[in-house]
Structure 1
Amino acid sequence: MTTTSESRHTGWQPPEPALSVRQVLTLERVLAGEPEVVAGAGQLDRPVRWVHVAEAADVGVMLSGGEMVLTTGVLLAGDEAKQAEYVRSLHRAEASALVLGLGRAFPAPPEVMRRAAERCGLPMVVLHRPFPFAELTEEVQCRLVRRKFAAVSLSEAVRTALTGLITAGAPLQRLLDEVARHSGCPVVVTNLAHRVLATAGERSAVDDVLRDWERVARQAGGGAGDGWIRAELGGHGERWGRLLLCGHRGDPATGRLLADRAAEALVLHRMLGGGSARTWEEQSAQSLLTDLAEGAVPARQLLPRARAAGLPVNRRTFVPLVVPDADPARLDRVLRVLGLPGLVAELAGPVTAVLLSLARDQHAEALTAHFAARLRTETGAPAAVVAAADPRTDWDDVPAGLREARHVADAVAGSFAPLGPPAVVRLRDVHLRGLVRLLRDDPHVQSFAERELDGLLGEAEPELLDVLRTYLATGRNKSRTALLHHVSRPALYRRLEAIQVRLGVDLDDFEQAASVHIALLAHDAQQG
């Protein structure tokens, strides 16, 4: 989610909003005719698409909607039935307003027409002073033409900007930031299930939109309304998403044009690969879990994004997991097979994070074990390990849980190789190794490791270091070590003797063996 405050001065100006009936009545030339609204006063905010001067009694058949009709009523005088039908025909044609010039046919507002207009909700305005209709049509038409030209210019500016970004290989977020800058409102991309895939716009405004996303999405499902403008995303007869401008305050027609241009660009962006091999769903989950794990954004601020992404968050138990070197698509498939709600994303490392969201009455540890067992079956890798943090019932504790799971995954790397790793590893399982991994970048620890292992680190026979690693990991079990390295016991004794000579230690002494073990753990941690 990105703010657009940095995009302030680009030379672009929004097009003038559509003229409403109310705005037309405030024009200086119209005020000279002393206009009076005699009916439909509650509908004065209707947009005026065009101005049409007509005296024909059947003018309704010539209209296409949105016209302000100007007339003197010369063909209606003396026939009340024609007067009422004239108003009704304008209503059926969805005219925006009727303007009647008094004096030539009607000295006062005709009551029949006024009542008919009131019943239909059609604004009816009378001009008390003679007024050349040509001046009004010229003024309004010029304004409308300028607005249409500005809208076309905006359309081309947006198309050019988005095409340039796509050509440069920009990510989806950069395109959405550009759309939000032009629209001046939050922009949301969803899949067909209303799950939010990406957003752009001023952060607080986006959070307001996402806070009650399910209700908001249903209200906006019908298309435009109250500034909500929707454009479908898809191609070849298949829809796969939606783009929404949320609370667009400009002209609806301009907003719809902007949404259509943005949708065209997003479809092209997806067809060309979008500068990333990951789907938009994967990018959305990655952005959310990365922000959670890094803690740069308070967890409370990320809650609307998680809810809008389809993650259940109310009265849930959250289980942060990290799986080293795992395919996110495979993990997501395991979640779907087991029917477990959660988010999956690849983080830097590379590790894949999984955030399970379980009901409070579900057994978190049992389901985590079930997930890990299924993962081993799916991957065919009996050594696959799931690093798990303790379950969290408070959303604010999730970032710490993700960091804990990542620390466990880092500490467990290679540590169980001789013994065979358990399917699920937790903080309580990594013991000293976990502490050493946390301290591996400390210069004192690095110096200690080099000093303790100096006799082996430059050794031309690296298998001695491997033998030492296995011997200490098995609790100094000589039989087990010999078996794992496929050597006889006498051969192992000779190698252990060589190790002790080079290091100047007695591995039968617990303290000296512990010191060497800690140094070896630190060395392995530093080597990754």
Structure 2
Amino acid sequence: MTSTPEPWGPVEPLEPALSVRRVLTLERVLAGEPEVVAGAAQLDRPVRWVHVAEAADVGVMLTGGEMVLTTGVLLAGDENAQAEYIRSLHRAEAAAVVLGLGRAFPTTPDVMRRAAERCGLPMVVLHRPFPFAELTEEVQSRLVRRKFAAVSLSEAVRTALTGLITAGAPLQRLLDEIAHHTGCPVVVTNLAHRVLATAGERPAVDDVLRDWERIARQAGGSEGDGWIRAELGGRGERWGQIMLCGYRGDTAGGRLLADRAAEALVLHRMLGGTSAHTWEEQSAQSLLTDLVSGVVPARQLLPRARAAGLPVNRRTFVPLVVRDGDPAQLERMLRLLGLPGLVAEFAEGAVAVLLSLARDQDADALAAHFATRLRTESGESRTVVAAADPRIVWDDVPTGLREAQHVADAVADSSAALDLPAVVRLRDVHLRGLIRLLRDDPHVQSFAERELDGLLCAGAGDDLLAVLRTYLASGRNKSRTAQLHHVSRPALYRRLEAIEARLGVDLDDFEQAASVHIALLAHDAQQA
């Protein structure tokens, strides 16, 4: 069996991107006594490169993001050239201009300062002589180191995630690792911004999901405040996105991590043969399983349900369980009928459907219509749709799902050909349904063991149990029981006598037969 590799070690975060403000804090720059004389509000512009230029038409040599160093020696005495110099830098989207005061300009040139202020271009003057080569060397070395660190980070993350994928790690494991090293909640959505999967510290994730409607509306806007997105898709098709929610590190580093994570998720989908739709099923399955289990209080699951696209405000919830249903078919049926809901296979042979209806809709009628259409579309007239009574309080939904599951199981356990309605409820399965609900009660378990002890401990108990089961289910019809077990009437009588002897009961006595019948139903429910 292939083992899943250990998570990668802590990844060194990238240094913050060099900005004009950070360059001005370098020791070598401080030695030149820098003073910001214009564009002070733009000091957080990133610096992509440092360029020494004296030519008046320097803008044609730039590609954007440069911090331009000059002494202005070719601009002295020509105010038009000075203004045009600043304008050309602005047009080229330079990060800033640094003017070394000296022979050409002993003081700040007012024309350049005013032009820079109008353009919003940061302008810095150095009051002490300063070798530009030292500043160029310092900034360039930092930029190169940062670029190398970014490449190293990218490769480390890609290698680690690829290792997890090839080892067969599930989607959640990948997301947990990404969340661990980004230090923030991670959310995967489809194109409709419905949440498919999340990772991160639970309180932080819940805070994100609680406000997900607003976040989803802004999902197409620009990134900011640590909200970093990367598209999921391939071969010209987009099918979702991954979002880092509130990433505290450098934006470029966060974008790099998001891109590597997106690559890994696409690869995971391709190698695993899964799809975005499969992830939606997994998301619904996780939510409904958590609701049924009760491990997480229903109130805490409300943000997840809302983020998954389920309407939850002032709604009527109808818990259903379909025996031997096809989740894909059930989802298509919901879309066809225009019914909001979640669909997930959460138990063997059972698919849960949680409908969310408006308060003024007839929940029972819509559930019956859904079941009837399902039988018609599938061609299976015996398709069992079990339901609990509608719930108008979200906290009651887990109990409803468990009740619907009990009803479905009770119908599946039945050995009688029941004439069932389109939607089966607890009242339709009578005693069998009650026993199913109580099967885990220690008193019921003890009762079943005590009543059937003579058969459960006997060597031929299984055969006799089968005869007893048929006899009681057929209403103590001896002829029918003999026919179903392919034995003669005298042979059946001998077996019934053996059963009565081992159990110490008289099956002709209604109360004793009823007691044995209830015990047998409880025993079968516990075994199932």
Fold shared by both chains (TM-score > 0.5): yes
Identity of aligned residues (%): 77
Q: Distance in 1 between matches of 2:331 and 2:483?
A: 37
1:213 lines up with 2:200 in the alignment: no
**2:474 maps to amino acid:** Y
The 1:519/1:277 distance shift into structure 2, 3 A limit, reads farther
**Paired AA for residue 334 in structure 2:** L
Between 1:201-210 and 1:412-421, the stretch displaced more is 412-421
> Which residue identity is paired with 1:471?
S
Contact 2:190 2:276 in 1 (8 A): no
Matched, 1:135 2:113: no
Contact 2:13/2:253, CA 8 A, preserved across alignment:
no
Q: Which amino acid aligns with 1:190?
A: T
| 2:417 aligned partner | 418
Query: Cα–Cα, structure 1 residues 18 and 459, in superposed 2: closer, same or farther, change >3 Å?
Result: closer
Partner of 2:447: 445
Matched, 1:501 2:497: yes
Cα offset, 1:500, TM superposition? 4.0
Query: Is the partner of 2:144 in helix, strand or coil?
Result: helix
Q: Is 1:370 aligned to 2:369, yes or no?
A: yes
Q: Does the CA-based 8 Å contact 1:220-1:228 persist in structure 2?
A: no
Tell me if the contact between 1:172 and 1:274 (Cα under 8 Å) persists in the aligned partners. Answer: no
Matching residue of 2:3 = none
Q: Which one is further off, 313-322 or 420-429?
A: 420-429
SS of residue paired to 2:233: strand
Q: Distance in 2 between matches of 1:416 and 1:422?
A: 17
In the TM superposition, 1:74-473 aligns within 5 A as 74-273=73-272, 279-415=278-414, 417-441=416-440, 442=442, 443-451=445-453, 458=461, 460=463, 464-472=467-475
Count of residues in Structure 1 that have an aligned counterpart in Structure 2: 515
* Contact residue 452 and residue 516 of structure 1 kept, 8 A: no
C-alpha separation between the residues in 2 aligned to 1:362 and 1:174?
41
Q: Does structure 2 conserve the Cα–Cα contact (< 8 Å) formed by 1:290 and 1:347? A: yes
CA–CA distance in structure 2, aligned partners of residues 487 and 363 of structure 1: 46
Alpha-carbon distance between aligned partners in 2 of 1:493 and 1:304, rounded to the nearest angstrom: 63
CA distance in 1, matches of 2:234, 2:282: 21
The CA distance in 1 between the partners of 2:113 and 2:276, in whole Å, is 64
Contact 1:418–1:470 at 8 Å: present in 2 too?
Answer: no
Partners of 2:484 and 2:186 in 1: how far apart? 63
Task: Calculate the TM-score normalised by the size of structure 2.
Answer: 0.90
The structure-2 alpha-carbon separation of the partners of 1:257 and 1:513, relative to structure 1 and needing over 3 Å to count, comes to same
Between the aligned partners of 1:336 and 1:26, the Cα distance in structure 2 is 60
SS in structure 1 at match of 2:41: helix
How far apart in 2 are the matches of 1:14 and 1:487? 74
- Could you tell which deviates more after superposition, 442-451 or 101-110? 442-451
Q: CA deviation at 1:116?
A: 1.4
SS at match of 2:380: coil
Query: Structure 2 vs 1, CA of residues 312 and 457 (structure 1 numbering), >3 Å: closer, same or farther?
Result: farther
**Matches of 2:276 and 2:98, distance apart in 1:** 60
1:70–1:417 CA distance, 2 compared to 1 (3 A): farther
Deviation at residue 444 of structure 1 after TM alignment:
1.2
Residues of 2 paired with 1:373 and 1:26: CA distance? 74
1:343 positional shift = 0.4
Give the AA of the match of 2:111.
V
Partner of 2:522: 522
* RMSD of Structure 2 on Structure 1 (CA): 2.8
Could you tell me how far 1:32 is from its partner in structure 2?
Answer: 1.1
Unpaired runs of 5+ in structure 2? 1-5
Note closer, same or farther for the CA distance 1:274–1:352 as it changes in structure 2 (3 Å cut): same
- Find the aligned partners of 1:486 and 1:500 in 2 and give their Cα distance: 15
Mapped contact 1:439–1:445 kept (Cα < 8 A): no
TM-score by length of structure 1 reads 0.90
Task: Output aligned runs, 1:10-25, within 5 Å.
Answer: 10-25=9-24
1:403-456 deviation per Cα after TM superposition (whole angstroms, max 9, x unaligned) = 222222233323273223333222333343234334445351342242365689
Query: Structure 1 CA distance, aligned partners of 2:127 and 2:364?
Result: 82
Determine the structure 2 residue equivalent to 1:3: none
- Supply the AA of the counterpart residue of 1:468: Y
Paired residue type of 1:467: T
CA deviations on 1:44-80 (whole Å, 9 max, x unpaired) are 1111111111111111111111111111111111111
Q: 1:436 to 1:119 in 2, by over 3 A?
A: same
Deviation at 1:511, TM superposition (A): 0.5
